[in-house]
């Protein structure tokens, strides 16, 4: 953000006195810092939200091992360059091919070539006073998916609200939001918090795939990867 002639202290005093600035895409902006000459809004996250971020990162990291797909999982400190804008989702997954091809500029600075994760997750208030639902819905549709994201989640983990919205690419390339907003166990375990799995011997059901897996969670993730790839292939074929 750029406010010519405005000092950082004056801007922060303004929002402290009169309330957060409201961005139509990113919601309330309660405070700012300066990076490379521009005002950057703080991402305000509660302790409870950060606990969930840590859990999701662990689950996704285990998934990359189970599914043998690889790739990298990052927290909100991992930035992605969409054209000239930098976006920092709470959690993101970048596939191995994209990760391998990144330059030092893209990995260590904000000035490298644009690149896109395939999965993004945002955690915030999604109902009641101060809800960021509308702003984050626009962010998913207009910022993330327009640049190549294939799967997205909006999550409100507060005990009295607990909602989850899943965004995905439909067969025609459009962005869909699932009607099922019920809270689910992210780890795939039971309600007691256990996420252990008995070993099995399962073969991928796709005809041309010969992969075998020892855990139900692993094959579930692998089959979902096949589904997403088929949707993306149809989308690319329709655009040609």
Strands (DSSP E) found in 96-200 = 119-123, 151-156, 163-169, 175-177
> Facing residues of 123 across strands?
155
Q: Which two tokens stand for residue 129?
A: 């006073």
CA 13 – CA 50 distance, rounded (Å): 27
- How far from each other are the two terminal CA atoms of the chain, in whole angstroms? 37
Domain definitions of the chain by residue range: 8-41, 47-239
Q: Which two tokens stand for residue 8?
A: 């950082």
> pLDDT tens, position by position, for the chain (240 residues)?
556 667 777 777 877 787 777 766 556 677 766 666 666 666 666 777 777 888 888 888 877 776 677 788 877 755 555 554 556 788 888 888 888 888 887 787 766 777 778 889 999 889 988 888 998 999 899 888 888 888 899 999 998 888 999 998 876 778 989 888 888 765 543 332 333 445 556 777 777 787 776 666 566 667 767 777 776 666 666 665
Neighbours of 13 (CB within 10 A): 11
- May I ask the CATH class of domain 47-239? alpha beta
Q: Which two tokens stand for residue 132?
A: 């960021």
CA 131 – CA 125 distance, rounded (Å): 5
Find tokens 């399962």 and name the residue.
202
CA 70 – CA 67 distance, rounded (Å): 8
Which pTM was predicted? 0.63
């Amino acid at each position: 953000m750029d406010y010519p002639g405005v000092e950082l202290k004056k801007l922060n005093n303004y929002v402290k006195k009169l309330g957060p600035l409201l961005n139509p895409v990113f919601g309330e902006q309660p405070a700012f810092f300066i990076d490379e000459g521009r005002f950057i809004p703080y991402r305000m996250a509660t302790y409870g939200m950060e606990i969930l971020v840590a859990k999701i990162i662990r689950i996704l990291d285990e998934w990359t091992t189970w599914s043998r797909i690889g790739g990298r999982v990052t927290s909100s400190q991992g930035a992605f360059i969409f054209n000239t804008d930098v976006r920092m989702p709470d959690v993101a997954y970048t596939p191995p091919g994209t990760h391998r091809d990144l330059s030092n500029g893209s990995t260590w600075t904000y000035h490298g070539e644009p690149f896109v994760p395939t999965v993004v997750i945002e955690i915030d208030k999604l109902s009641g006073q101060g809800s960021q639902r509308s702003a984050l819905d626009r962010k998913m549709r207009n910022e993330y998916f327009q640049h190549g994201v294939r799967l997205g989640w909006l999550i409100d983990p507060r005990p009295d609200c607990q909602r989850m919205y899943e965004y995905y690419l439909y067969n025609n390339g459009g962005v869909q939001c699932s009607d099922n907003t019920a809270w689910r166990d992210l780890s795939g375990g039971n309600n007691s918090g256990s996420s252990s799995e008995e070993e099995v011997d399962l073969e991928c059901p796709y005809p041309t795939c010969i992969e075998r897996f020892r855990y139900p969670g692993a094959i579930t993730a692998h089959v979902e990867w096949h589904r997403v790839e088929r949707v993306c292939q149809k989308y690319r074929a329709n655009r040609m």
